[in-house]
Amino acid sequence: MAKHIALAGKGGTGKTTVASLIIKNLVAGNKGRVLAVDADPNATLHEALGMELTCTLSDIVETVKEQKSADDSDREGYIKTKFTEEALIRSDGYDLLVMGPSRQAGCYCFPNAVLKNCIIQLENDYDYMVIDNEAGLEHISRGTIQDVDTMLVISDGSVKGVRAAGRIYELAKSLAFDIGEAYLIITKINDTALLQKEIEATGLELLGIIPYDTQLTEYDLYGKPLLDLPEDSPAVKAVREICDKIFV
Ligand SMILES: Nc1ncnc2c1ncn2[C@@H]1O[C@H](COP(=O)(O)OP(=O)(O)O)[C@@H](O)[C@H]1O
Ligand SMILES: [Mg+2]
Protein backbone atom coordinates (compact mmCIF):
# COMPACT_ATOMS: atom_id res chain seq x y z
CA MET A 1 0.00 0.00 0.00
CA ALA A 2 1.23 3.45 -0.90
CA LYS A 3 1.61 5.96 1.92
CA HIS A 4 -0.87 8.79 1.32
CA ILE A 5 0.30 12.32 2.09
CA ALA A 6 -2.55 14.79 1.57
CA LEU A 7 -2.15 18.56 1.51
CA ALA A 8 -5.04 20.82 2.37
CA GLY A 9 -5.55 24.51 3.18
CA LYS A 10 -7.04 27.76 1.96
CA GLY A 11 -6.26 28.79 -1.64
CA GLY A 12 -2.97 30.62 -2.13
CA THR A 13 -1.38 29.42 1.11
CA GLY A 14 1.24 27.26 -0.62
CA LYS A 15 -0.24 23.74 -0.93
CA THR A 16 0.96 23.18 -4.49
CA THR A 17 4.37 24.64 -3.67
CA VAL A 18 4.82 22.39 -0.64
CA ALA A 19 3.49 19.36 -2.56
CA SER A 20 6.06 19.96 -5.34
CA LEU A 21 8.90 20.35 -2.88
CA ILE A 22 7.89 17.15 -1.06
CA ILE A 23 7.93 15.36 -4.43
CA LYS A 24 11.35 16.91 -5.15
CA ASN A 25 12.59 15.59 -1.79
CA LEU A 26 11.27 12.06 -2.38
CA VAL A 27 12.63 11.88 -5.93
CA ALA A 28 16.05 13.39 -5.13
CA GLY A 29 16.44 11.11 -2.11
CA ASN A 30 15.43 8.04 -4.14
CA LYS A 31 12.93 7.23 -1.43
CA GLY A 32 10.58 5.10 -3.52
CA ARG A 33 8.01 5.20 -6.30
CA VAL A 34 6.03 8.43 -6.21
CA LEU A 35 2.63 9.32 -7.63
CA ALA A 36 1.74 13.01 -7.60
CA VAL A 37 -2.04 13.46 -7.51
CA ASP A 38 -3.60 16.82 -8.34
CA ALA A 39 -7.04 16.73 -6.73
CA ASP A 40 -7.55 20.49 -7.01
CA PRO A 41 -10.10 21.24 -9.78
CA ASN A 42 -8.01 24.29 -10.59
CA ALA A 43 -5.02 22.12 -11.41
CA THR A 44 -1.58 23.74 -11.19
CA LEU A 45 0.63 21.00 -9.76
CA HIS A 46 1.85 20.02 -13.24
CA GLU A 47 3.05 23.60 -13.80
CA ALA A 48 4.99 23.63 -10.56
CA LEU A 49 6.53 20.30 -11.55
CA GLY A 50 7.26 21.54 -15.07
CA MET A 51 5.01 19.03 -16.84
CA GLU A 52 2.55 19.43 -19.67
CA LEU A 53 -1.03 18.46 -18.88
CA THR A 54 -2.58 16.42 -21.67
CA CYS A 55 -5.33 14.37 -20.03
CA THR A 56 -7.29 14.61 -16.78
CA LEU A 57 -9.76 12.16 -15.25
CA SER A 58 -12.53 14.71 -15.94
CA ASP A 59 -11.60 14.59 -19.65
CA ILE A 60 -12.13 10.82 -19.60
CA VAL A 61 -15.51 11.18 -17.87
CA GLU A 62 -16.60 13.80 -20.41
CA THR A 63 -15.62 11.64 -23.39
CA VAL A 64 -17.39 8.59 -21.98
CA LYS A 65 -20.52 10.65 -21.46
CA GLU A 66 -20.65 11.33 -25.21
CA GLN A 67 -20.35 7.63 -26.11
CA LYS A 68 -24.06 6.89 -25.96
CA SER A 69 -23.98 3.80 -28.19
CA ALA A 70 -21.18 1.89 -26.44
CA ASP A 71 -22.10 -0.79 -23.90
CA ASP A 72 -20.70 -0.86 -20.36
CA SER A 73 -17.94 -3.37 -20.99
CA ASP A 74 -16.69 -1.38 -24.01
CA ARG A 75 -16.79 1.79 -21.97
CA GLU A 76 -14.97 0.15 -19.08
CA GLY A 77 -12.20 -1.04 -21.43
CA TYR A 78 -11.94 2.39 -22.97
CA ILE A 79 -11.70 4.11 -19.56
CA LYS A 80 -9.02 1.71 -18.31
CA THR A 81 -6.90 2.17 -21.44
CA LYS A 82 -7.22 5.96 -21.37
CA PHE A 83 -6.35 5.92 -17.68
CA THR A 84 -3.10 3.97 -18.03
CA GLU A 85 -2.00 5.32 -21.37
CA GLU A 86 -2.94 8.98 -21.07
CA ALA A 87 -4.14 10.15 -17.66
CA LEU A 88 -1.21 8.60 -15.84
CA ILE A 89 1.49 10.99 -17.02
CA ARG A 90 4.99 9.54 -16.64
CA SER A 91 8.02 11.56 -15.70
CA ASP A 92 11.54 11.04 -14.38
CA GLY A 93 11.29 9.47 -10.96
CA TYR A 94 7.56 10.01 -10.47
CA ASP A 95 4.19 9.93 -12.24
CA LEU A 96 1.35 12.43 -12.19
CA LEU A 97 -2.42 11.98 -12.13
CA VAL A 98 -4.71 15.00 -12.50
CA MET A 99 -8.36 14.79 -11.45
CA GLY A 100 -9.53 17.98 -13.22
CA PRO A 101 -12.77 19.86 -12.59
CA SER A 102 -15.89 17.87 -11.77
CA ARG A 103 -18.96 19.01 -13.64
CA GLN A 104 -22.07 18.73 -11.56
CA ALA A 105 -24.88 18.23 -14.10
CA GLY A 106 -25.89 14.61 -14.74
CA CYS A 107 -24.74 11.42 -13.07
CA TYR A 108 -21.31 10.13 -13.99
CA CYS A 109 -21.45 7.28 -11.52
CA PHE A 110 -20.28 4.66 -13.98
CA PRO A 111 -17.05 6.26 -15.26
CA ASN A 112 -16.25 7.62 -11.80
CA ALA A 113 -16.60 4.16 -10.27
CA VAL A 114 -14.31 2.66 -12.91
CA LEU A 115 -11.74 5.42 -12.38
CA LYS A 116 -11.88 5.00 -8.61
CA ASN A 117 -11.05 1.34 -9.14
CA CYS A 118 -8.16 2.28 -11.44
CA ILE A 119 -6.73 4.44 -8.64
CA ILE A 120 -7.15 1.67 -6.07
CA GLN A 121 -5.26 -0.66 -8.44
CA LEU A 122 -2.29 1.74 -8.29
CA GLU A 123 -1.81 1.26 -4.55
CA ASN A 124 0.80 -1.45 -5.03
CA ASP A 125 2.63 0.36 -7.82
CA TYR A 126 3.74 3.28 -5.65
CA ASP A 127 5.33 3.82 -2.26
CA TYR A 128 4.00 7.37 -1.91
CA MET A 129 1.00 9.28 -3.18
CA VAL A 130 1.34 13.03 -2.64
CA ILE A 131 -2.15 14.50 -3.01
CA ASP A 132 -2.67 18.23 -3.61
CA ASN A 133 -6.28 18.98 -2.57
CA GLU A 134 -8.56 21.97 -2.65
CA ALA A 135 -9.99 23.35 0.59
CA GLY A 136 -13.25 21.36 0.38
CA LEU A 137 -11.39 18.02 0.18
CA GLU A 138 -13.88 16.91 -2.49
CA HIS A 139 -12.07 13.85 -3.78
CA ILE A 140 -11.38 12.62 -0.30
CA SER A 141 -15.01 13.14 0.70
CA ARG A 142 -16.21 11.33 -2.45
CA GLY A 143 -13.91 8.42 -1.70
CA THR A 144 -11.85 8.74 -4.92
CA ILE A 145 -8.90 8.92 -2.57
CA GLN A 146 -9.10 6.57 0.36
CA ASP A 147 -7.61 7.14 3.79
CA VAL A 148 -4.83 9.56 4.52
CA ASP A 149 -1.68 8.55 6.40
CA THR A 150 -0.32 12.07 6.79
CA MET A 151 -2.46 15.16 6.41
CA LEU A 152 -0.56 18.43 6.05
CA VAL A 153 -2.74 21.49 6.53
CA ILE A 154 -1.04 24.51 5.03
CA SER A 155 -1.56 28.10 6.14
CA ASP A 156 0.15 31.36 5.42
CA GLY A 157 1.08 33.61 8.34
CA SER A 158 -2.35 35.25 8.54
CA VAL A 159 -4.93 34.73 11.28
CA LYS A 160 -7.46 33.96 8.54
CA GLY A 161 -5.23 31.28 7.07
CA VAL A 162 -4.64 29.60 10.43
CA ARG A 163 -8.35 29.68 11.31
CA ALA A 164 -9.18 28.20 7.89
CA ALA A 165 -6.63 25.46 8.62
CA GLY A 166 -8.48 24.68 11.85
CA ARG A 167 -11.81 24.46 10.00
CA ILE A 168 -10.35 22.25 7.27
CA TYR A 169 -8.96 19.93 9.93
CA GLU A 170 -12.42 19.76 11.55
CA LEU A 171 -13.94 19.00 8.13
CA ALA A 172 -11.36 16.29 7.49
CA LYS A 173 -12.10 14.64 10.84
CA SER A 174 -15.83 14.70 10.09
CA LEU A 175 -15.42 12.80 6.79
CA ALA A 176 -15.62 9.04 6.69
CA PHE A 177 -11.96 8.25 6.18
CA ASP A 178 -9.04 7.52 8.46
CA ILE A 179 -6.34 10.10 9.12
CA GLY A 180 -3.14 8.63 10.51
CA GLU A 181 -1.51 11.90 11.59
CA ALA A 182 -2.21 15.56 10.88
CA TYR A 183 0.07 18.58 11.09
CA LEU A 184 0.07 22.29 10.40
CA ILE A 185 2.68 23.93 8.18
CA ILE A 186 2.95 27.73 8.04
CA THR A 187 4.39 29.35 4.94
CA LYS A 188 5.81 32.71 3.81
CA ILE A 189 6.71 33.81 7.33
CA ASN A 190 9.81 33.64 9.52
CA ASP A 191 8.35 33.66 12.98
CA THR A 192 5.06 32.35 14.36
CA ALA A 193 5.32 33.85 17.87
CA LEU A 194 2.36 36.21 17.35
CA LEU A 195 0.19 33.38 15.98
CA GLN A 196 0.80 30.99 18.87
CA LYS A 197 -2.73 31.17 20.33
CA GLU A 198 -4.36 30.78 16.92
CA ILE A 199 -2.14 27.79 16.14
CA GLU A 200 -3.06 26.09 19.41
CA ALA A 201 -6.76 26.65 18.70
CA THR A 202 -6.53 24.55 15.50
CA GLY A 203 -5.68 21.43 17.51
CA LEU A 204 -2.92 20.75 14.99
CA GLU A 205 0.73 20.29 15.86
CA LEU A 206 2.97 22.76 14.04
CA LEU A 207 5.33 20.63 11.96
CA GLY A 208 7.38 23.40 10.39
CA ILE A 209 7.65 26.89 8.97
CA ILE A 210 8.55 27.61 5.35
CA PRO A 211 10.07 31.08 5.11
CA TYR A 212 9.28 33.55 2.36
CA ASP A 213 11.61 32.56 -0.46
CA THR A 214 12.27 35.19 -3.13
CA GLN A 215 13.91 32.65 -5.44
CA LEU A 216 10.73 30.57 -5.31
CA THR A 217 8.70 33.66 -6.25
CA GLU A 218 11.02 34.19 -9.20
CA TYR A 219 10.60 30.57 -10.37
CA ASP A 220 6.83 30.96 -10.06
CA LEU A 221 6.90 34.21 -12.04
CA TYR A 222 8.92 32.77 -14.92
CA GLY A 223 7.13 29.38 -14.89
CA LYS A 224 10.31 27.49 -13.99
CA PRO A 225 9.79 24.04 -12.42
CA LEU A 226 10.17 24.13 -8.63
CA LEU A 227 11.98 20.79 -8.88
CA ASP A 228 14.94 22.76 -10.26
CA LEU A 229 15.22 25.03 -7.21
CA PRO A 230 18.71 24.73 -5.67
CA GLU A 231 19.11 22.56 -2.58
CA ASP A 232 20.14 25.58 -0.50
CA SER A 233 17.02 27.62 -1.27
CA PRO A 234 15.27 28.47 2.05
CA ALA A 235 11.99 26.77 1.04
CA VAL A 236 13.74 23.60 -0.18
CA LYS A 237 15.72 23.44 3.08
CA ALA A 238 12.58 23.91 5.19
CA VAL A 239 10.69 21.20 3.29
CA ARG A 240 13.68 18.87 3.68
CA GLU A 241 13.44 19.28 7.48
CA ILE A 242 9.70 18.59 7.31
CA CYS A 243 10.29 15.47 5.19
CA ASP A 244 12.89 14.23 7.67
CA LYS A 245 10.16 14.32 10.31
CA ILE A 246 7.42 12.58 8.33
CA PHE A 247 9.45 10.04 6.34
CA VAL A 248 11.33 8.28 9.11
N1 LIG B 1 7.56 29.99 0.84
C2 LIG B 1 7.14 30.80 -0.14
N3 LIG B 1 7.83 31.93 -0.45
C4 LIG B 1 7.41 32.77 -1.42
N5 LIG B 1 6.33 32.57 -2.16
C6 LIG B 1 5.59 31.46 -1.92
C7 LIG B 1 5.95 30.52 -0.91
N8 LIG B 1 5.03 29.53 -0.91
C9 LIG B 1 4.14 29.82 -1.87
N10 LIG B 1 4.47 30.99 -2.49
C11 LIG B 1 3.74 31.65 -3.57
O12 LIG B 1 2.38 31.82 -3.18
C13 LIG B 1 1.51 31.63 -4.29
C14 LIG B 1 0.49 30.55 -3.94
O15 LIG B 1 1.17 29.32 -3.76
P16 LIG B 1 0.51 27.92 -4.19
O17 LIG B 1 1.46 26.87 -3.79
O18 LIG B 1 0.06 27.96 -5.60
O19 LIG B 1 -0.78 27.93 -3.23
P20 LIG B 1 -2.07 26.97 -3.20
O21 LIG B 1 -1.72 25.73 -3.94
O22 LIG B 1 -2.33 26.73 -1.76
O23 LIG B 1 -3.17 27.75 -3.85
C24 LIG B 1 2.38 31.27 -5.47
O25 LIG B 1 2.59 32.43 -6.23
C26 LIG B 1 3.68 30.80 -4.83
O27 LIG B 1 4.80 31.01 -5.65
MG1 LIG C 1 -2.70 24.85 -5.57
CA distance 93 to 78: 27
94-108, 166-180, 204-218, 227-241: lowest mean pLDDT where?
94-108
pLDDT per residue as tens digits for the range 166-192: 999 999 998 878 899 999 999 999 999
Measure 146 CA to ligand 2 centroid, in angstroms: 20
Pick from 220, 222, 229 the residue to mutate for probing ligand 1's pocket: most ligand atoms within 8 Å of its CB: 220
Nearest atom in ligand 1 to the alpha carbon of residue 154 is 22
| Average pLDDT across the chain, whole number | 92
CA distance 103 to 215: 37
Q: Where are the alpha helices (DSSP H) in 187-247?
A: 196-202, 214-221, 234-246
Measure 101 CA to ligand 2 centroid, in angstroms: 13
Q: Residue 80: CB partners within 8 Å, gap ≥ 6?
A: 114, 118
Average pLDDT over residues 116-129: 93
Cβ–Cβ under 8 Å, residues 175 and 137: yes
At residue 62 the predicted structure's pLDDT band, cuts being 50, 70 and 90, is confident
pLDDT over 60 (residue 105): no
Structural domains of the chain in order of their starting residue, each with its CATH number: 3-246 (3.40.50.300)
pLDDT over 80 (residue 20): yes
